Amino acid sequence: MHFTKKGWIALSLTGLVLLAACGNDSGETKDKASEPVKFLETGELLTLNTTAEEDFVSFTAQNQVFEGLYTLDKKDNFVPGVAASMPEINADQTEYTIKLRKDAKWSDGSQVTADDFVYAWRRAVDPKTAPSYAALFKDSIKNATEIHEGKLPVSELGVVAPDAETLKITLKKPVPYFISLLSFETFFPQKQAFVEKQGDKYGTDAKHTLYNGPFVMQNWDGNTSKNWTYAKNPEYWDKKNVDVDKISVQVAKDINAGVNLYNTKEADRAPLSGDFAKQYKDRADFLTEKDALVSYLRFNQNRDGKATPLANNALRHALNLAVDKEALTSEILGDGSFPANGLLPKDFVQNPKTGADFRTDSGDHLLYNKTEASKYLAQAKKELGTNTITLELLGDDQDTTKTIFAFLKNQFETNLPGVKINIKTMPAKSATELTRSSDYDMSLAAWMPDFKDPWTYSSLFLSDYYNNSMHYNSPKYDQLVKSTDTTLATDPSARWNAFVASEKVLLDDDAAILPLYQHQVAVLQNPDITGVQKHTFGSPYSYKFIQVSKN
């Protein structure tokens, strides 16, 4: 829901792969575990303040140097972090009582307390300090909305600390995915005395930040810094399970540079995309990592107060059926990404009763079919009263985006005679602004989930959702999705069925968007490096589990 993070994904595909390289700096046989692991990032680290605006690099960094009440294990299961155990939940699922472990420490040796969570969460909803991710609190915790709107003081937030090791949380309603939120960075703790002493400098560089995660930050001088280091935190409660002593990071925005580092044995891991992925896909050290990010085209139905051609249902169907997604993923992307035949990704959430994947229960939607596309196009031309339809395709100016757009333009204009596509690319920030103001016809988008629940995807297309810039308005869709957050919130099976039904409305009935592909991360990786944990939601990566072979 955070647009800095999501908008950057939506409009900058080349930078999707965050982690680039790690390794030893010579071919000598020696104790590799004693050497710093070497990573690359594709952009600068902007902030370590978890209640500030955040981007992918910041999310990755924060997940290494901080820890919340719950964290993710190697299989993306929720396990206690600062919490001593899973929460006690009352019968109506609106009150959570969480005990904190006594050995959770800040990097200055002081105990992480329940008050540290109360303080951080109040900052996350206080209109003076709140990030865009305040929406996660407003959707869940009692009085968060009223506080964010300035109607109540922060002291009225539904979270209290009866003692140093007990946190009591009161929700505004049952929230089935609340445990998932508690593993997300914006719900991490902050020590009030330290934060207030640093003032505006808090989280802006290594020395003005306090840590409670597996690592502490070193050598980071601020958001223009091209280098930083994660060093093992001697105060971390689970330090015995952290094998790596140091991870050095440098910024390298060019994928080609990362590949060169790998091929010259100066790096043990390098990201791949496009031609690089196709070139190296048959090598033994080529890997793909699962990702829940789904890329799609938005169809804007109203621009400058006037209906666009995309307000026509038949035209939206024609566009959906005219794209060969198999060709897009295998011939254009070549990085292991695969066609998205629905809104929700594969291997993300499962049926609470049967364990079936969402994609299995919902099935495939709007599959490539030139014959049916032609029929819908004929209907659209008749209803629109024209034989020529011109549409603008908006995106950023990254090379990967341009390549995808060239493919889509060819597909639309070849398979839909009379349709003309004008490509409009520009810097990501400018393209984002046009998208948010609904000044486009079609725009490239993508969504990676913040938490593990269908709501993070399905809520995007509610008629009153802040990120819905398409003027899509379906009372049927609204009713189904909103029921999952209200009347069906405590009925897992019925809630699941409502999500499945809503996807059919969005796609089969309305063809409101054009799902393109589910992203996969392609890398070259030295077999000596293991344990780089890629998450399908929340923070992109955890480094806690990294191991370096001594062979």
Alpha helices in 385-474 (DSSP H): 399-415, 428-436, 455-458
pLDDT, tens digit, for every residue of 322-357?
999 999 999 888 888 999 999 999 999 999 999 999
The residue ranking higher by pLDDT, 261 or 33, is: 261
| CATH 3.10.105.10 residue spans of the chain | 290-520
Q: Which of 250, 283, 242 lies closest to 267 in space, CA to CA?
A: 250
3-state percent breakdown (helix, strand, coil) of the chain, nearest 5: 35, 20, 45
Comparing 172 with 264, the larger pLDDT belongs to 172
pTM above the 0.85 mark? Answer: no
Q: Which of 97-101, 135-139, 362-366 has the lowest mean pLDDT?
A: 135-139
d(CA 296, CA 394): 12
**Quick one: pLDDT at residue 250?**
80
Give the pLDDT mean for 121-141: 92
For 214, the 3-state DSSP assignment is coil
Could you report the per-residue pLDDT of 226-244, keeping only the tens digit for each?
Answer: 999 999 999 999 999 999 9
Q: Can you give the pLDDT at residue 10?
A: 36
- pLDDT band, very low/low/confident/very high, at 253 (cuts 50, 70, 90): confident
Query: Of 167-176, 305-314, 425-434, which range is least confident?
Result: 425-434
Q: Which of residues 9 and 327 earns the better pLDDT score?
A: 327
Residues of the chain with CATH 3.90.76.10: 37-250+526-548
Residues 6+ apart with CB under 8 A from 114: 100, 161, 162, 163, 164, 165, 166, 167
pLDDT tens across 262-291, in order?
888 888 888 887 778 888 888 999 988 888
Residue 61 scores a pLDDT above 50? yes
Question: Is pLDDT of 19 > 50?
Answer: no
Question: What pLDDT is recorded for position 466?
Answer: 74
For residue 159, the cross-strand partners are: 169
CATH number of 290-520: 3.10.105.10
Three-class SS state of 240: helix
d(CA 90, CA 442): 46
User: Which architecture, in CATH terms, is 37-250+526-548?
Assistant: Alpha-Beta Complex (3.90)
pLDDT at 34: 59
pLDDT at residue number 525: 86
pLDDT band at 223 (very low <50, low <70, confident <90, very high): confident
Considering Cα of 157, then 158, then 163, then 165, what sign does the dihedral take?
negative
Cβ contacts of residue 427 below 8 Å, gap of 6+? 396, 397
